[in-house]
Amino acid sequence: MKQFIKSKQLKIILIVLVIIAGIVMIAVKGLNFDLKYQDTQRVELYLKTEFNISDIRQITNEVFGSQKVMIQKVEVFEDSVSITTTSISDEQKSNLITKINEKYGTELTAEDTTVEDIGHTRGRDIIKPYVIPFAIAVIIVLIYLGIRYYKLSIVKVLAKSIGIMALAQILLFSIIAITRIPIGRLTIPMVILVYLLTLFGITTKFEKDLSKKKLDESKDKGKKK
Amino acid sequence: MKKIKIITMIVLIILITMVSFFGVYTQVQNRMENRVRDYALDMDLDGARYVRLSVNKESTDVIKDANGNEVETDEEMTDEQLAENGYTKESVPNNSEDLLTVENYEKSKKIISERLESQGVGEYEISVDNETGDILVQIPENENTDTFVSNMNTVGKFEIIDADTKEVLMDNSDIKLVNVMYGSASSTSSGTTVYLNVEFNKEGSKKLAEISKTYVKGDEDTTNTTSEDTNTTTENTTNTEAENTTADNTTTEENTTDDTTSTETDATEDSTESTTKEITMKIDDEEIMTTSFDEPIENGKLQLSMGSATTDVDTLQDNISQASSIASVLDSGNLPIQYDIESNEYILSDITNTHIAYLALAVGIVLLIGFIIFIIRYKVNGLLSAIAFIGLISLYLLVIRYTNVSVSIQGIVGIIVTIILNYIFINKILSTIKKSEDSKKLATVKEGIKESYKEFFMKLIPICISVIVFCFISWTTISSFGMVMFWGIALIALYNYLITATMLKVRAEK
């Protein structure tokens, strides 16, 4: 029993530490946004021929080094490439064009190639479409849990459910902040996954508690008889 | 006989798997074409239309009289003519310097978002460069994309002006909401008419009532002026029961008066002399119509019919689409800044088929390990369940394709979650059967399956609730997850009852 309490305490301490570290990380360095949602610069090049993204990747690795780069094919003929990265200097632009000309035999010039500035997407704009659906789902789920497990005390059930769901998401974002996993297209799927896992975990626990309670009640009845 | 049953089921599973993973090919002209429907992919996986809106930097020449008032004229005036009339010509920027603020850039972004949402765009990304004011919008590529794009930079300036004096009587600030309605124009006419319903706020309603008393039709008046590209009719007195057709509003409007006066505005002009004062309705400085009122409008609602009554579905759809576009533009308010579409192109996703193939391979490897564990732990039952599992995945992927579910990254997560849930469920059935004293008895197997179903699906109810809620959300990525999971859970329940459970029962009988 003592060991169990100790392990439970250890878990709580660990969770609290991770959350504090996450908060500190967010306060100091903020969240690490994926390239798609950052302030970026984009250049579009007409190659006149179909191309392999891996070939372009090789060129961008040489030109931009460790900078994150997003490469996309443009339009239905897929003969233009869109290259997006954090910033493109004049030197990088002319270097990129020279290498592209060498590889694809094009006659692109740095003067005719414009670099577009792209503003960042705000975090709240990314999560905005998900807030209402999640709120509705959580409310209905809480109503169900309250009804289904009323024998375990509605207040306890609701408090536990809300607490665990919130804690799981806070923990997820703390881990994202600490590990510097970029906030991007995989963030919402991660949130959904954690939400579903939490729901499954909560229900499993309540089902177990309920059957235990029922068993105890039937035992008590048996004793009285 | 029992052996034949199992073999038949396995053959059926192999067949479904072949169709799902390799397709059904038939010869079309000189090439082989897969007849199995392709996946519908969302913006993240399929690519998107990238629309770049840049702040208009052009200027417009404005002619002013000696008092500094703007003079409206259609004819080009020479410098001599200007001097003769005492007019001066000034070059005025379309976006004055004081308009180019971060607040206005953000407001423009918000208005464009609202327009996209009101037109039912299920997914979009929008970002603004706060230094230049340029806005980048990404929307899915489909048959409506061009309409959405054309509405993005429409300023949406609404005005009702005096046709003679050009005095502005009402503008955007008077509008409460704009939506689309449809209904039959009268009980005697056939066909459906689409209406643009403009509801004014308290102040606007007062103004409208006042205007409709002042600008009343004379006895002989039948004058109509045409708009070039919008076929619109004022329906200030209707006996129409019009139903709202916009996605987010479902009100039913009943506006009953004695007689109906629908003034068609086609490309022709009926002309008997006008004897009354008239108003002109303008959207983005373009005249939509010039008309007067039959009787005062006290309810603060103005219904404009879009085109004439029609029974043709395509024409009706066009009218609805046109009305919806105007409604979404007016309802969201006018853009504080004039924007130009600088670029408008389709850019493919950076997530390629190779990425998806790697993911599928990884899932396949993990599943294979899972199946080996099944076989080691549960022997023949494990093998049969593994075969049935492959059938479920194959059928599931076919269902996703034929139910038109748009697959997003969230949808892919939904597929993986479904596979995990099915693994947990099958494992639960097999372990329950194995735990029993005589696992080869049919009664034991039946009991094990029943117990597993009850226990598993009781735990799944909260997930099912969330999934059903997500199915009804208009945002594509979340509804994609909901739909994928919905079909997944439905298949877990049905398929395992019909195939997996049957295989296990048949084996037990043996």
Q: Report the C-alpha gap between B492 and B369 in whole angstroms.
A: 20
Residue B19 contacts A where some CB pair is shorter than 8 Å: no
Residue B127 contacts A where some CB pair is shorter than 8 Å: yes
Give domain status of residue B70, yes or no: no
Q: Report the C-alpha gap between B184 and B310 in whole angstroms.
A: 9
Q: Which CATH number covers residue B221?
A: 3.30.1360.200
- Phi–psi pair at B182, nearest 5 degrees: -145, 155
For residue B125, list its beta bridge partners. B138
Shared domain for A152 and A169, answered yes or no, is yes
Pick the more confident residue, B293 or A205.
A205
Whether A3 has a pLDDT exceeding 80, the answer reads no
Instruction: Please write the tens of the pLDDT for every residue from A67-91.
Output: 999 999 997 788 899 999 999 999 9
Instruction: Please write the tens of the pLDDT for every residue from B458-494.
Output: 999 999 999 999 999 989 999 999 999 999 999 999 9
Shared domain for A171 and A154, answered yes or no, is yes
Give domain status of residue A173, yes or no: yes
Shared domain for A64 and A165, answered yes or no, is no
Shared domain for B296 and B382, answered yes or no, is no
Q: What is the dihedral of CA B332, B334, B336, B341, to 10 degrees?
A: 90
Displacement of CA A123 from its chain's centroid (Å): 11
pLDDT at position B187 is 59
| Of A8, A40, A164, A137, nearest in space to A172 by CA | A164
**Residues B488, B418 contacting (CB under 8 angstroms):** yes
Shared domain for B189 and B218, answered yes or no, is yes
Neighbours of A223 (CB within 10 A): 7
Shared domain for B371 and B505, answered yes or no, is yes
Residue A82 contacts B where some CB pair is shorter than 8 Å: yes
Shared domain for A46 and A101, answered yes or no, is yes
Strands B406-407 and B40-41: parallel
Closest Cα in chain A, distance from residue B499 (Å): 25
Q: What is the mean pLDDT of chain B?
A: 83
Shared domain for B335 and B363, answered yes or no, is no
Q: Do B129 and A207 touch (CB under 8 A)?
A: no
Mutation target to probe the A interface, by most A beta carbons within 10 A, among B52, B121, B127 is B127
Instruction: Please write the tens of the pLDDT for every residue from B252-261.
Output: 333 333 333 3
Residue B160's Cβ-side half-sphere holds a number of Cα atoms within 13 Å equal to 22
Report the number of distinct structural domains present in chain B. Answer: 2
- Which tokens go with B353? 């088929």
Instruction: Please write the tens of the pLDDT for every residue from A115-167.
Output: 999 988 888 888 899 999 999 999 999 999 999 999 999 999 999 999 999 99
Mutation target to probe the B interface, by most B beta carbons within 10 A, among A196, A203, A210 is A196
**Residues B59, B95 contacting (CB under 8 angstroms):** no
What Cα–Cα distance (Å) separates residue B113 from each residue in A66, B104, B110, B128, B336? 35, 14, 5, 12, 14
Q: What is the pTM of this model?
A: 0.82
Shared domain for B330 and B366, answered yes or no, is no
pLDDT at position B182 is 81
Shared domain for B333 and B361, answered yes or no, is no
Shared domain for B174 and B273, answered yes or no, is yes
Residue B357 contacts A where some CB pair is shorter than 8 Å: no
Share of chain B above pLDDT 90, in %: 45
Shared domain for A172 and A189, answered yes or no, is yes
**Predicted confidence band at B74 (pLDDT cuts at 50, 70, 90)?**
low
pLDDT at position B181 is 86
| Of A178, A194, A196, nearest in space to A186 by CA | A194
Region of residue A203 (left: phi > 0; alpha: psi -120 to 50; beta: else): alpha
Residues of chain A contacting B470 with CB distance shorter than 8 Å: 133, 137
pLDDT at position B273 is 46
Shared domain for A127 and A28, answered yes or no, is yes
Give domain status of residue A182, yes or no: yes
Shared domain for A46 and A27, answered yes or no, is no
Shared domain for B274 and B420, answered yes or no, is no
pLDDT at position B147 is 87
**Number of A–B residue contacts, CB under 8 Å:** 109
Domain carrying residue A212: 2-32+122-219
Shared domain for B156 and B302, answered yes or no, is yes
Whether B232 has a pLDDT exceeding 90, the answer reads no
Give domain status of residue A224, yes or no: no
Candidate from B325-334, B404-413, B470-479 with smallest mean pLDDT: B325-334
Instruction: Please write the tens of the pLDDT for every residue from B77-94.
Output: 777 777 887 788 888 888
Tell me which of A118, A149, A183 is where a domain ends: A118
Shared domain for A127 and A215, answered yes or no, is yes
Residues of chain A contacting B462 with CB distance shorter than 8 Å: 141, 144-145, 199-200, 202-203
Q: Closest to A203 (Cβ–Cβ): which among B410, B462, B478?
A: B462
Q: Closest to A76 (Cβ–Cβ): which among B346, B417, B478?
A: B346
Closest Cα in chain B, distance from residue A33 (Å): 14
- Phi–psi pair at B191, nearest 5 degrees: 95, 170
Give domain status of residue B74, yes or no: no
**Residues A154, A2 contacting (CB under 8 angstroms):** no
Domain carrying residue B419: 2-41+351-509
Residue A14 contacts B where some CB pair is shorter than 8 Å: no
Residue A52 contacts B where some CB pair is shorter than 8 Å: no
Residue B356 contacts A where some CB pair is shorter than 8 Å: no
**Predicted confidence band at B381 (pLDDT cuts at 50, 70, 90)?**
very high
Report the number of distinct structural domains present in chain A. Answer: 2
Give domain status of residue B88, yes or no: no
**Predicted confidence band at A102 (pLDDT cuts at 50, 70, 90)?**
very high
Whether A92 has a pLDDT exceeding 90, the answer reads yes
Shared domain for A68 and A132, answered yes or no, is no
pLDDT at position B109 is 93
Whether B509 has a pLDDT exceeding 90, the answer reads no
Residue A192 contacts B where some CB pair is shorter than 8 Å: yes
Q: Which amino acid is at A180?
A: R
Q: What is the mean pLDDT of chain A?
A: 92
Shared domain for A211 and A139, answered yes or no, is yes
Strand runs labelled E in B18-108: 25-28, 31-34, 40-41, 48-55, 59-64, 88-93
Pick the more confident residue, B373 or B160.
B373
Mutation target to probe the A interface, by most A beta carbons within 10 A, among B350, B409, B451, B489 is B350
Q: Which CATH number covers residue B452?
A: 1.20.1640.10
Q: Closest to B475 (Cβ–Cβ): which among A129, A185, A207?
A: A129
Instruction: Please write the tens of the pLDDT for every residue from B27-66.
Output: 888 889 999 999 999 999 999 999 999 999 988 888 877 7
Shared domain for B236 and B211, answered yes or no, is yes
Residues of chain A contacting B455 with CB distance shorter than 8 Å: 207
Instruction: Please write the tens of the pLDDT for every residue from B354-378.
Output: 999 999 999 999 999 999 999 999 9
Shared domain for A133 and A152, answered yes or no, is yes
Q: Which CATH number covers residue A83?
A: 3.30.70
Candidate from A180-184, B107-111, B225-229, B231-235 with smallest mean pLDDT: B225-229
Shared domain for A27 and A127, answered yes or no, is yes
Chain B residue closest in CA terms to A145: B462
Instruction: Please write the tens of the pLDDT for every residue from B91-100.
Output: 888 888 899 9
pLDDT at position A155 is 95
Q: Report the C-alpha gap between A71 and B235 in whole angstroms.
A: 53
Q: Do B466 and A199 touch (CB under 8 A)?
A: yes
B contact residues 481-500, partner A, Cβ 8 Å cutoff: 481
Residues of chain A contacting B350 with CB distance shorter than 8 Å: 70-72
Give domain status of residue A167, yes or no: yes
